[in-house]
Structures are given as structure tokens and as C-alpha cells.
Amino acid sequence: PIANMPRKRYGCLGAAVNGIFYVIGGLKFGNMNGLSIHPYAYVSSMDSFDPKTNTWLKTKALPMGGCVIACTVVGSCIYMLSSHAVELSFWKYATDTDSWTRIKQPPIPSPLRMDNVLKFSCVTMGSLVYIIQVGGSIDDLLRRSGRN
């Protein structure tokens, strides 16, 4: 059996580098104000899993916190887009040194609305990272098609 993840989370992202699987961000589970266990806070933490040794390791959390909303891999680095309520930041995590570097934000079309209507994804093609911005959600598509 696979070892239990040290930090329970929901809605997280994943990336694999050199046989190690990284679990990034998501919503934290726990007890809040005496209510039952449910996801309640965005986390910028990251854990890694080594399937050869069946062990989980903690890695450095994303500096400045925020909600990790997209990621992709180039070589031994994981590139992440993070939201801070009113702005976006772009980061590079070097897996070989367990270190973070904030990098220049790529051009993002204006006006930028930071709500649940816009979705982002990162894609790697060769050594280039592309950020894809999509307007709407599955709920919007269902509503417009009359199926909601």
C-alpha cells in the first residue's frame, strides 16, 4: 500500500520530476470554529512522494503564500502560477536544490478578473511554458446550453 499523505488536501495540483511526484497547494482539511472536518483554507505547501521508497517528504512552501492555480514541468523545475486575490505571481521551483525563484510574470491579457469565472492552466512545449487563460466554467457552459 501507498504511504498516507502527511497533509490532507483537496483540489491540489500534481507534477512529476525525475520519478518523484509533487503535490502542490489545494484546500486544507480540518476543524474550523467547531464545525465538522471540511476544506477551509488555501495552502501554498508542497509535499513530495518517492514511490521507490514509499515515503512522503515535506518541501519548502511557496514564498508569499497564495493559491497555486496552475503548474507545469520543464527539466528538473516546476513552474507555478499563484493567485494572491488581486494579483498573479509566477514561480520556478528547482527540485534539485529545493529552492524557489520568483520570475517575471508573463504577459496576461487585461482586464484580468480574479474570480471563479476565469481559469488558468500551464502547458510545456519543449522548453517553453505557456499560460492558458480560459473564460467561463462548466457551470457557465451548461447554463448557456440550457442543460442547467
Q: What is the mean pLDDT of each run of 10 residues along the chain (148 residues)?
A: 78 90 80 54 82 90 78 92 75 93 73 58 84 64 55
| The pLDDT value given to residue 21 | 93
The domain ranges of the chain are 9-106
| The pLDDT value given to residue 118 | 63
- Is the Cα torsion angle 16, 19, 25, 31 positive or negative in sign? positive
| The pLDDT value given to residue 9 | 77
Question: How many other C-beta atoms lie within 10 A of the C-beta of residue 85?
Answer: 7
| The pLDDT value given to residue 77 | 95
9-106 CATH pick, 2.40.128, 3.40.1360, 3.30.465, 1.10.3470 = 2.40.128
| The pLDDT value given to residue 123 | 83
